[in-house]
Structure 1
Amino acid sequence: MTATLTTPALQVGQYRVDPPVVLAPMAGITNVAFRKLCQEYGAGLYVCEMITARAVVERHPGTMHMMTFAAGEYPRSMQLYGVDPATMREAVKIIVGEGLADHIDQNYGCPVAKVTRKGGGSALPYKRNLFGNIVRASVEAAEPAGVPVTVKFRVGIDDDHHTYLDAGRIAEAEGAVAVSLHARTAAQRYSGQADWSHIARLKEAVTGIPVLGNGDIFTAADATRMVEETGCDGVVVGRGCLGRPWLFGELEAAFQGRPAPEPPNLGEVARVLRRHTELLIEHDGHDKAMRDIRKHMAWYFMGFPVGSELRRSFATVSSLDQLDDLIGKLEHDAPFPADALGPRGRQGSPGKVTLPHGWLDDPDDPCVPEGADMMHSGG
C-alpha cells in the first residue's frame, strides 16, 4: 500500500521526527545493535531498552552498558522507568548532567504481574497524584538541559478502570512534550486486538502536545490506517519489527507516499540476520551475542520454507562460522511469505491484573509503592 495521507513530521520537543515513527523499547531486543540495524532502513526515533531509575542512581554496571548509543545516533532516546519521584528526579539529573541522552521517555505500560502487584507499570497511572508527581519531577530535572520528556501508558488496568485520559491530561499539564498510548488494558496483556478508538479519544482530550498510537502495527498499511482512523500524530512500533528491521524502510516509504520497497527473499533475510549478529558481537562480545541472536531466529524465518532440523540448528547456533554454514543451506531465492506479515512475538492470553492490597481504594493517594523498582520489560 502507498499512503495517501500527508503526515507532517512529529515534533518531540526540539527534535523533528520524520517520518513520525518511533521504535518501542523492548527488553532484550532494542539494544544498540538492533537499533542501528533498524536505522539503516529508515528514519525515525529509536528508543533504547528500558532503564530503571534506581539502577541509574546506583550506577549498576549492566544498566550503564545498556545505556550505550551508536556513534551518530541522534537524538539519543532513553526510556526510563521509576515509581518514586525522588529517585526519578535523581536519575534524570544524572542522565542530563552527564549528557547520557537527548530525550527521555517514561514507561507506564508494563502489564507483568511481578510489576503490577507492587503498584508499578500499568497499575501506577491509577494513582493520579503519584503519577503526576513522577512526571513533574522528571520534567523539572530535565528542563535545565533542554531534554524533552515523553510518557507512554496503556488504556488502563482493565475495562472497569480506564486511566489513559487522566494520564494524558496529567502528563501534558506536568510538562511532557508527547504521550503514547498502547491501546490495550493491562488485563489484555498482548492478547486480542488493540482498540484504536481509545487513541482517537486521547487525541481529542490532549490537544497541546503530540499523541502517538501503539498496538497492532505489523505493516506500513497498519501504520497509515492508524493515523487516518485516529488522527494521531505518529506511531510506535514494537512487535511488528521483530525479525523485520526493514519494516522501517516500508514505513518511511508509506508516510512519504512512495511505493513500498520489494520485500526481501530468504537470501536477503539471511544477510540481515548475519549483519544483526555482527552488530551484537561488536556490542556484547562473541559468546553473549551468539546466545542473544538465537531468540531472533524464529522471527527472521517466520513463514519461510526452512526445515525443522535446520531451524533447530539456527536456534542453537554458537559461532559465526556455524551461522555462515547454516545460512549456506538455505533456499536463498525463496520469496518473502505473504502470511508472515501478521502478529509476531508474545501474545498470550488475558487475565486478572495482580495489584497491591487496597490499590484501588484511593486513586489520589500519592504514596510511593513499596519495592516496585525492578528490571522488567516495557509495555
Structure 2
Amino acid sequence: MPGAPFPVTVGRARWRCFICKNKSVAFIVLYKKKCEETRGDRMRVKSKSAVLHMLLGSPNYISGQELANRLGVSRQTVGKCVQQLREEGYKIEATQRLGYKFLGDNNLVTAEVLTPRLHCPLEPIYYATVDSTNTEAKRLLNAGYRGNFLVVADEQTAGRGRQGKQFYSPRGTGIYMTVVVHHGRRLQDAVSVTTAAGVAVCRAIEELTDKHPQIKWVNDVYIDDKKICGILTEAVVGMESGLAEAMIIGIGANMQTEEFPPDVENAASLDADVSRADMIAAIADHLWEILDDGYESYIDYYRSHSMLLGKAITFIRDGVTTPATAIGIDEIGGLVVRLEDGSVITLRSGEITVRPRCTKKS
C-alpha cells in the first residue's frame, strides 16, 4: 500500500479512503498494533501460569534458563513472570546459580492454587474482590458461561445471606465461594441442595481439623454454639421446564476473622491450622460427591449433626412467629416440628431460633 511507513497485509481487500489515504493506513496500522498487544497480553498470562505450574510441581530449584527453554520464552520473560507472581502473593525464592524455588502460596485462593487441589470437575474462577460470589456467578451465567464452575474471592464488598442479610467478608480471612452446577433439579428440591452443602462443609472441617461442627437448620454451620459458616442457595429456573437449570450454592465461612462488626451476632472463626485453599477444595469435592450420589448418601449424617433435634424452637414463616419442638429431619432435608397443639408439620424454609431453657426458681 503506497504511503504506508511499513508493509501492511490486507489480503485481497483494496483499502481506499476518498478523503485521505493516510487515515485509512493509520486505521490498519492501529488495528494491527492492537491485535499484537492483545496477543502479547495473552502470551504473558499463559507464560506466568506455566512458570507457576512448573515451580509448584518441583521440590527443588529450577534455573531461569531451564524455565525459559521449556516454555520457549526468554529469561527476561521468566524474570517478569516471577516478579508478577511475587506481587500477587506467591513466595518464590531466587538464588544465584540455582534459580527459582516455590516456598508457599501465602494462603492464596487463586485458580492456579486451587486447580491441583480439586478432584471434582469444577473450573475455579478467582477474583481478588467482588461484590458477591453468588451475584458474580449469575453474571457469568447471563453472559453465556456454561458448564459447572466455582467462583472464589478474597473479599466480598456486598456478601449476601438468607433473608436479605449481609455476610461480613473481610479480605483474606474467610472462604467466599459459590459452586454452580447444572443438575436439572425440581425447584422444591432446593432445600436438599442446601442441606447437602451443610454436610459438605461439616465433612471438610472434620477431615482437615479436630473440630466438631453442627448444623443449624437449614443453612448454618456452628462450632461450640457459634456460627462459623452460612449457606445461600439460589436457582436459575427454566420457564418451560420449571426445573432449576442451574443451582447457585454460595458458601461463606470465617476462617481467621478476629473481629466482627457490632451488628454481627454470635459469630466466630474456625481458627484452625488449615489453608483456605485446602478447605475450599475439600468442600467442593464433598459437595460434588454428595450431589452426584443423592439424598441417601448424606441424610443420616445431616441428622446426626443437627443441633436442633429435641429442642424447643420458634420459626418465622410468612411473617408469623410460631413456637414448636424440632423432632426430626425428613428424607429430603425438611425440618419436622411438633406445634404446641400437638400437630406435626414439615418446614421447607423459614427462620429458626432456639428458645432458651426455662430455669425453675427455688
TM-score with structure 1 length normalisation? Answer: 0.23
Q: Which has the higher strand share?
A: 2
Q: Which has the higher helix share?
A: 1
TM-score with structure 2 length normalisation? Answer: 0.24
